[in-house]
Amino acid sequence: MIIAIDAGHGWPDRGAVANGLVEHSANLALARRVCELLRDSGHNATLTRDTGRLVSWATRRKRAEGADLVCSIHHNAAPDPSIGGAQAYLLPGPSDRLTGAAWRILDGLPAGLRPGKVFQTHPTDWRKRAHRVLSSFGSPSLLLEVGYLTSAVDAANLHRYYRHIDTLARPIAEALAAY
């Protein structure tokens, strides 16, 4: 099985920036570690972006081509700083296996980022950006929003977890490997 890990954004598109965290850097650090854990456990894993620079969608699609599963890693932001928690997004009509993988990831994340939520995307409402990302890959895919950078609680937890990145990376890698 081939698993593609997509680190969302990339310089100059920094993504969300709040509470001392920059999304594109956090996405890449986590994606690299998830990929490394998957490879260390004998899985064929690849990154769609392996530097801090932005990679075009055409290149990302090409790098994910032939993957059995794609996981796009992001961090969220909201105008209301009380909104927090991890989320997973799936295209409409996901398989039970993909839905199960999304829930395994969310349930495995540290308690400070739970309870998680799984949403199906839609091309015309507030979920349209996730829909666009997921529909660009030709493989079963999920978009993971690890937490809200704009939430003081999530940001404090993320700062702590990024000092011990396996706290975040291991449950993601394990759930993807079990897919």
Segment 49-78 mean pLDDT: 94
- pLDDT tens for residues 19-34? 999 999 999 999 999 9
Domains of the chain: 2-178 (3.40.630.40)
List 61's β-bridge partners, or say none: none
Q: Rounded to an integer, what distance in angstroms lies between the CA atom of residue 142 and that of residue 63?
A: 16
Cis peptide leading into residue 115 (ω within 30°): yes
What confidence category does residue 131 fall into, taking pLDDT thresholds of 50, 70 and 90?
A: confident
Q: What is the mean pLDDT of residues 148-172?
A: 92
Length of the chain: 179
Residue 98 predicted with pLDDT over 90: yes
| Burial of 40 per CB tally in 10 Å (0-12, 13-18, 19+) | exposed
Contacts of 169 (CB under 8 A, 6+ apart): 30, 33, 34, 37
Q: Judging by beta carbons within 10 Å of its beta carbon (0-12, 13-18, 19+), is residue 149 exposed, middle or buried? A: buried
Q: How confident is the model at residue 137 (pLDDT cuts 50, 70, 90)?
A: very high
The pLDDT > 90 percentage for the chain reads: 74
pLDDT in tens, 138-157: 899 999 999 999 999 999 99
